[in-house]
Amino acid sequence: MFELTPEGAEDWWEVEALYDLCFGPARTALSSYRLRERVEPVAGLSLVARDPDGLVGGAIRYWSVRIVAGAGRVHPALLLGPVAVHPTHQGEGLGGVLIRDSLDIAARHGWPRVMLVGDAPYYARFGFGRLGGVKMPPPTNPERVLGRALVPGAWDGISGQVMRET
């Protein structure tokens, strides 16, 4: 059994080590990391899963971004990722628990929409679908830009460039 808690400053190094283990240190070269540079994860939504011995078994982070459309319209969104589960716990459903629980928290905190860059067949089970008009920094594959409305209709008519919060 894992205990999920909000990520705190004391968790940072262990979570970074988990991300390096799961994705490799070159993960920071991905375009989604340009949106995370010099920005703190959203407090209370980024979660850490610890086993009964206190070891990190999984983690998920969220970042505040904005979709900038024409005529100065700006739409706030959450950028989910990364989510990782330690290799010794993969296949146990922990990733799904992290995603579902954190999305529930985001909805309770009033966030209207969430997006990510990921595998559509995997994330479809959590209600994510392709965002056709939302553009991530290059070289992101547009087929992997996915979103989920936390409020009905929150993605309706939204298109534009995803920018980091300033």
CA atoms within 13 A on the CB side of 154: 20
Structure confidence at residue 138 as a pLDDT band (50, 70, 90): confident
pTM over 0.75: yes
User: What average pLDDT score do residues 114-140 get?
Assistant: 94
List, in sequence order, every beta strand (DSSP E) within the chain. 3-6, 47-50, 56-68, 74-85, 113-117, 129-130, 134-135, 145-149, 160-164
Provide the number of structural domains found in the chain. 1
Structure confidence at residue 28 as a pLDDT band (50, 70, 90): low
- Residue 152: how many other CB atoms lie within 10 Å: 8
pLDDT higher than 90, residue 2: yes
Residue count (the chain): 166
Interior/surface letters 118-147, b for 16+ CB within 10 angstroms, e for the rest: beeeebeebebeebeebbbeeebeeebbbb
Written as six digits, the tokens of 19 are 């991300």
pLDDT higher than 70, residue 46: yes
**Mean of the per-residue pLDDT values of the chain:** 92
What pLDDT score does 33 carry? Answer: 64
Domain extent, residue 45, equals 3-164
CATH code for the domain of 74: 3.40.630.30
Q: What is the per-residue pLDDT across 55-109, written as a single tens digit (0 to 9) for each?
A: 999 999 999 999 998 777 899 999 998 999 999 999 999 999 999 999 999 999 9
Q: How far is it, in rounded angstroms, from Cα 162 to Cα 131?
A: 12
